[in-house]
Structure 1
Amino acid sequence: MKSYNPRTGMESLQVTPISKASAIQRAGRSGRTGPGKCYRLYTEDNFIKELDDSTVPEIQRTNLANVVLTLKSLGINDLLHFDFMDPPPAEALIKALELLFALGALNSVGELTKVGRQMAEFPVDPMLSKAIVASDKYKCSEELISIAAMLSTGNSIFYRPKDKQVYADNAKKNFHIGNVGDHIALLNVYDAWKETNYSMQWCYENYIQVRSMKRARDIRDQLERLLERVEIELTSNPVDLDAIKKAITSGYFPHSAKLEKNRSYRRVKNGQTVHVHPSSGLAQVLPRWVLYHELVLTTKEYIRQVSELNPEWLVEIAPHYYQLKDVEDLASKKLPRGKGHAS
C-alpha cells in the first residue's frame, strides 16, 4: 500500500495486512461468474484480532499539497476545521501549507496568490505546476511542458529486455550525452520522437515504451491548452539549458541535495541521507549538487529523475526558503556573494 511520510516527504510502498472489509470484498469475488471458493491464508484468530476493520483512506496516507491547493482555489480557507469525511493528519496539512507558501502559491495569511491561482489550473503536482509557471520568466515554457508531460507518465519511458540489456543501455546513454541530467534527457527523448513524426518504429529501435510516449503527448497537449488559459506565452529556448534547469529549480528547490564523501547525498533542508536511483543517467557521475523529482523508499531511500544543480540558484530563486548560510554550511568552500543573494 502506498504511504507518504510528511516529515521526510518520502513515498513508500509498504506491505500491510489486508483489512477485514477488504478481505470480505475479496471473498465475494469467488462464485461471481461460476462456482468458487475463497481460501484465507491466515487463521480466524488473525482475522478477528489483527486485521483493521477497514483500509486506511488514501487522504490519510498521501501528499496533501495538491488537495490543499484545490480547496484553496475553491475558496475554502480554514482547512484545519474543514469537515472532511476522513480527516487527514494535522501535520500533513500543515506541511502542505508550508510547501505552498514556500512555492509562492499562498501569501503570509494563507490566501491564494496570483501564482497560486495559475498553479491550481494545472492537474499536476504543485511543485511541477510552479516550474511550469516559472518557465514564463525564463522563456522556456515549450520545454517545461514537455518535461512535465514526460515526468507525469511515471518511470515507464525506457525498457530493458532481458536479452538486449546492453543495446537498451547504449540507446538510453545517447539521450544523456554530456551528463545533462534526467530532466533534459527526457526532453531529448520527446524532441527526438517528435522529429520522427511520432514514429512507433523509432521507439522500438531506442527501447522506449510507445504507450508511455503517446500518453506524454496527450498530457503535453492538455498542458499547452492550459498555458493559454493562465496567460502564459508559449516560448522556446532549447539552447539555454541553464534557463530550463532554473525553471525546474523554481518548483523543486525543496528537493536539493549535496554529495557526501561516502558517495551518498544529504538533503539540504533536513540533512536526510539519500541515494541516486541506479536507473538515473547521473548514477555513475554523481555531481556535487543535485535536484530531484521524487524520493521513494524501496531497498534504500532513492531519489529519482535527477539533474545537476548550481547551489547559487537556490538562494537566488528561494531566498525565503534557503538563506545563504544554509547553502554555505554545506559547501566546503564559501560561495561568492553575487547579485540576488539573500544574506
Structure 2
Amino acid sequence: MANLPILQFEEKILDTVERNPVVVIIGETGSGKSTQLSQMLHKRGYTKSGIIAVTQPRRVAAVSVSRRVAQELGVRLGEEVGYAIRFEDRTSEKTRIKYLTDGVLLRESLTNPELNQYSVIILDEAHERSLNTDILLGLMKRLVKIRTSNLKVLITSATLDGEKVSRFFSNCPVLNVPGKLFPVEILYSTERPSSYLEASLKTAIDIHVREPEGDVLIFMTGQDDIEKLVLKLEERIQRLEEGSCMDAIVLPLHGSLPPEMQVRVFSPPPLNCRRFIVATNIAETSLTVDGVVYVIDSGYVKQRQYNPSTGMYSLDVVQISRVQADQRAGRAGRTRPGKCYRLYPSMVYHDELLDATVPEIQRSSLAGSVLYLKSLDLTDIDILKFDLLDPPSSESLEDALKQLYLIDAIDENGSITRVGRTMAELPLEPSLSRTLMEANECGCLSQALTVAAMLSAETTLLPGRSKSNEKKRKHAPSELPDGSGWGDHIQLLQIYEHWDQTDYDIDWCKDNSLQVRGMMFVKDVRKQLCQIMQKIGNGSLDVRTNERRKESRQDYRNLRKALCVGYANQLAERMIRHNGYRTSGFKSQLVQVHPSSVLRADEEGMLPNYVVYHELIATSRPYMRNVCTVEMPWVAPILKKLEKLNIKKLSGGSSHSEERIEVENINLPKKEVDVAVPTDDRDSRVQAARERFLARKANR
C-alpha cells in the first residue's frame, strides 16, 4: 500500500478538496484511487460530520473494494467500513466509509433528497458512464448549490475527459494522478480471427508454453463465452505433456459469480502455478487482479442497447473503444513489464474503434430514471431539459414519459401520481413495480411478489433458456410446471410454489436443472420485497409470506390482470395474416413469441389475441420474452390512453401549443374480424428509415 502513487499526492488532494466543493481526479490504472481516497478523507476528519460514500457502477466492485478497505483499516466488514448493493446491505450505525452502487445512492436520495447523512460523495469509475452515474452527476451539480450543510463531491476516473466534466461543474479543478505502470508491449494480429474464442484459446496456450511465469488475463464478451473458454482451456492444459510447463489454474470472473468464486480471483496462486483469468470488461477498471503479466484482448464487448423507436432491446457484441483497449492493455503492466495480445490488426485500433464508449444513458430505456426524477418533486426540473453531461435523445425521453403515463405513474399533466411515488420506492423496473401495486388491489400480491423476484434473478434460472440451448429445446422440461397455458409468468410462479412445497429443497432444483444459486437469490429477494411492501403499506398489505396453499385459477386470473396493468406499455395484438404480434402504441414492430416460451396455442393452433411481454429483444429476429396472455376487458383502458399523448405536458415543461403526437392504436377486435390490417407501406418506409438513422448514429 505504501507504494501506491496516489499517496504521494495526498496533501495536494486534501488541500484541493478543502478549498473546492467539487474536484475531478483522473487516477490512472494502479494509482490506488478506489481504495485510498476514502481512507485519506477519513483520516483528515471528514467522517466526523457524516459518512463518506463511494459509488461503484458494479455490484462486484462495491463488495470487493469495501472488503479491501476494511482489511487495510483492520476493521470488520459491515462495521466502520461497509457496502450496500441492491437487495444486500452490509452496513451498521458504526459505518463511516460506505461503498455502494450508484443505483442504491439514487434510491437513498428519494427519502433524503439532500443526502444529509453524507459529508463526502465520491463517484468512482465515472468513465464507465453508467446510466445511474450520469443521473448522479446531474443531481450533484444541483445539490452542491442548494445543500445547507457542507458537501464535498469527488468525481474519479481512469480515463474520463476531465476538462469536459470540469466545465459541467463550473470549471472545478482537475487533478491528475499517474498510475504505477510498467511498459507494456502491444502485439497485434495480422487479421481479424474468424473466432475470437478459438484465437484466445490458441494465444493462451502459446503464452503458457513459451512465456515466463506470470498470470494471463483474457477478456471475453460474456458469461457464456467465459464458461466455454474455461472448459476448453482446462482440457488443453490437461493434455499438455507433463513437466513441459508449470501448473495452471483457470478462473472465471464476471458479475454473476457467487462471492466465494470472486474471492478466488484475488487470492495469490499456488507456488509455481500460472493463473488464467477469463473475464468480462469488469476487469478493465472496476477490479484489479494482481499478478497479471499477459493480457489477451478479443477487441469485443457485449453491450445492451435500447431502440426507443421500436421499444426493443438488443444484446450486441460490439467493438470496444480505444479507451477500453488502452485500459485492457494497462492491466498487463501492474507488477512488471508485460505484454498485451490484441486479436485484431493495428489498423482496426487506429481507424475503426471509437474514441470512447457510448454512454449508457444514450442506449438505455429511461423509464426508471425519469420516474426517479419525477418523484423528487423538483419544480425547476423539466425532464426534457434536465442538465446532463451527455443528454439522451428527445426520442428516448419521450418514450420513457409515454411508458410511465400508460402505467399510471404520471398523469396527463406529467405530475407523478400516488401510484408512481410508491413505484419509485421499489428497487424494481417500473413495469414490475406497477404490477405489485395492482396485485395488491386484486388480492394477489403474494403471487406477484414471487413473479417479480423470479424476473429479478441475475442469471438464467430455467433449463433450456440459455442462448446455447435455445435452438436445441423449445420448451422447459415436462416435469416442470407449464404455466397452465397462460404463459411464462404463471410458469415462474408455479415453479417457485413447487419449490416452496418441498421446503426449498436444493436437490429438487438440481433434479429439475434449475440454477440453485439463482433460486436462493430469488427466495432472498422475495423476502426483501415483502418487507419493503409491508413498510410501504404500514404493515397493512396482504403479503401472506408464510402461507402455503395451492394456487387457484382465480389467483392466476388476478395475477394476469395485474400484469396487464403493469405491462401496459408492453402489450401486443396477434396479427393473423402475419403469423406474429404487433406491439402497442406508436411501435408498429411485428414480433414473434420466443421459442423458449410456454405460451400455449388453442385446439386450432391459434395463440391468444392479446399478450403482454417482459422484454422485447432482437436476436435472429424480433422476439417477445416472458409472455403472458391477457383478456380484452383489461386491454380496453390501455387503448383509450393510447389515443393521444401531449409530450410537452408529460415532461413537466410549459407550453401554450396543443401539439399532440398521434400514436398507432392496437385495433379493437370486431365480432367477425379474422384478418388484421397491416401497417401501410409509407409507415413501413418511415420506420425503416428511422432505424437506419439510429444504427448509423450508434456506429459513429
TM-score, normalised with respect to structure 2: 0.44
**1:238 and 2:554 correspond:** no
After TM superposition, give the deviation of residue 299 of structure 1 in Å: 0.9
Letter paired with 1:291? V
Q: Which residue of the other structure, out of 589, 611, 616, is the alignment partner of 1:272?
A: 589
Q: Which residue of the other structure, out of 505, 508, 517, is the alignment partner of 1:199?
A: 505
Letter paired with 2:504? Y
Aligned pairs for 1:89-128 within 5 A: 89-128=393-432
The count of residues paired between Structure 1 and Structure 2 equals: 333
Question: What CA distance in whole angstroms lies between the structure 2 residues aligned with 1:111 and 1:187?
Answer: 34
Partner of residue 628, structure 2: 307
Question: What CA distance in whole angstroms lies between the structure 1 residues aligned with 2:395 and 2:502?
Answer: 48
Q: Which residue of the other structure, out of 585, 595, 610, is the alignment partner of 1:289?
A: 610
Q: Which residue of the other structure, out of 561, 569, 592, is the alignment partner of 1:254?
A: 569
Aligned pairs for 1:34-53 within 5 A: 35-53=337-355
Percent of paired sites with the same residue: 38
Q: In the superposition, relative to structure 1, how do residues 177 and 150 fare at CA in structure 2: closer, same or farther (>3 Å)?
A: closer
Contact 1:172–1:206 (Cα < 8 Å) also in 2: no
Question: What CA distance in whole angstroms lies between the structure 2 residues aligned with 1:198 and 1:303?
Answer: 30
Q: In the superposition, relative to structure 1, how do residues 329 and 104 fare at CA in structure 2: closer, same or farther (>3 Å)?
A: closer
Higher relative contact order (CA 8 A, sep 6+): 1
Aligned pairs for 1:178-193 within 5 A: 178-193=484-499
After TM superposition, give the deviation of residue 184 of structure 1 in Å: 0.8
Q: In the superposition, relative to structure 1, how do residues 309 and 214 fare at CA in structure 2: closer, same or farther (>3 Å)?
A: same
Q: SS in structure 1 opposite 2:612? A: strand
Moved more, 116-125 or 168-177: 168-177
Partner of residue 375, structure 2: 73
* 1:173-214 CA distance string (max 9 Å, x none): 641163131111100011111111111011011221111111
Question: What CA distance in whole angstroms lies between the structure 1 residues aligned with 2:347 and 2:477?
Answer: 54
**1:175 and 2:467 correspond:** no
Q: SS in structure 2 opposite 1:88? A: coil
Question: What CA distance in whole angstroms lies between the structure 2 residues aligned with 1:107 and 1:46?
Answer: 49
Q: In the superposition, relative to structure 1, how do residues 155 and 267 fare at CA in structure 2: closer, same or farther (>3 Å)?
A: farther
Q: In the superposition, relative to structure 1, how do residues 254 and 79 fare at CA in structure 2: closer, same or farther (>3 Å)?
A: closer
Partner of residue 61, structure 1: 363
Partner of residue 337, structure 1: none
Question: What CA distance in whole angstroms lies between the structure 2 residues aligned with 1:276 and 1:168?
Answer: 11
Question: What CA distance in whole angstroms lies between the structure 2 residues aligned with 1:328 and 1:244?
Answer: 24
* 1:65-97 CA distance string (max 9 Å, x none): 111111222234322222212222221112111
Contact 1:168–1:207 (Cα < 8 Å) also in 2: no
Letter paired with 1:128? L
Question: What CA distance in whole angstroms lies between the structure 2 residues aligned with 1:82 and 1:200?
Answer: 48
Q: In the superposition, relative to structure 1, how do residues 173 and 318 fare at CA in structure 2: closer, same or farther (>3 Å)?
A: farther
After TM superposition, give the deviation of residue 152 of structure 1 in Å: 1.1
After TM superposition, give the deviation of residue 251 of structure 1 in Å: 0.8
Q: SS in structure 2 opposite 1:47? A: helix
**1:333 and 2:672 correspond:** yes
Q: In the superposition, relative to structure 1, how do residues 75 and 234 fare at CA in structure 2: closer, same or farther (>3 Å)?
A: same
After the TM superposition, list the runs of 4 or more consecutive aligned residues in structure 1 that deviate by more than 6 angstroms: 165-168
Q: SS in structure 1 opposite 2:333? A: coil
* 1:113-140 CA distance string (max 9 Å, x none): 1111000011111111111111121011
After TM superposition, give the deviation of residue 224 of structure 1 in Å: 0.7
Contact 2:474–2:597 (Cα < 8 Å) also in 1: no
* 1:9-60 CA distance string (max 9 Å, x none): 1110223221111110011112334553113333433323322211011111
Partner of residue 452, structure 2: 148
Letter paired with 1:271? S
After TM superposition, give the deviation of residue 229 of structure 1 in Å: 2.3
Question: What CA distance in whole angstroms lies between the structure 2 residues aligned with 1:155 and 1:181?
Answer: 20
Letter paired with 1:123? P
**1:321 and 2:642 correspond:** yes
**1:226 and 2:532 correspond:** yes
After TM superposition, give the deviation of residue 333 of structure 1 in Å: 3.0
Question: What CA distance in whole angstroms lies between the structure 2 residues aligned with 1:61 and 1:283?
Answer: 34
Contact 2:463–2:514 (Cα < 8 Å) also in 1: yes
Contact 1:277–1:283 (Cα < 8 Å) also in 2: no
Q: SS in structure 2 opposite 1:15? A: strand
Contact 1:183–1:307 (Cα < 8 Å) also in 2: yes
* 1:287-333 CA distance string (max 9 Å, x none): 3322211101111111011111212211146632369x945455573
Q: SS in structure 2 opposite 1:80? A: helix
After TM superposition, give the deviation of residue 252 of structure 1 in Å: 0.7
Q: In the superposition, relative to structure 1, how do residues 332 and 43 fare at CA in structure 2: closer, same or farther (>3 Å)?
A: farther
Letter paired with 1:247? A
Question: What CA distance in whole angstroms lies between the structure 2 residues aligned with 1:203 and 1:275?
Answer: 30
Question: What CA distance in whole angstroms lies between the structure 2 residues aligned with 1:152 and 1:309?
Answer: 22
Question: What CA distance in whole angstroms lies between the structure 1 residues aligned with 2:479 and 2:472?
Answer: 11
Question: What CA distance in whole angstroms lies between the structure 1 residues aligned with 2:473 and 2:669?
Answer: 39
Question: What CA distance in whole angstroms lies between the structure 2 residues aligned with 1:252 and 1:205?
Answer: 33
Question: What CA distance in whole angstroms lies between the structure 1 residues aligned with 2:305 and 2:325?
Answer: 20
After TM superposition, give the deviation of residue 268 of structure 1 in Å: 3.8
Contact 1:268–1:330 (Cα < 8 Å) also in 2: no
Comparing both structures, which one devotes a greater share of its residues to strand? 2
Which structure: larger Rg?
A: 2
After TM superposition, give the deviation of residue 172 of structure 1 in Å: 4.7
Q: In the superposition, relative to structure 1, how do residues 174 and 123 fare at CA in structure 2: closer, same or farther (>3 Å)?
A: same
Letter paired with 2:522? A
RMSD (CA atoms) = 2.9
Q: In the superposition, relative to structure 1, how do residues 322 and 151 fare at CA in structure 2: closer, same or farther (>3 Å)?
A: farther
Partner of residue 213, structure 1: 519
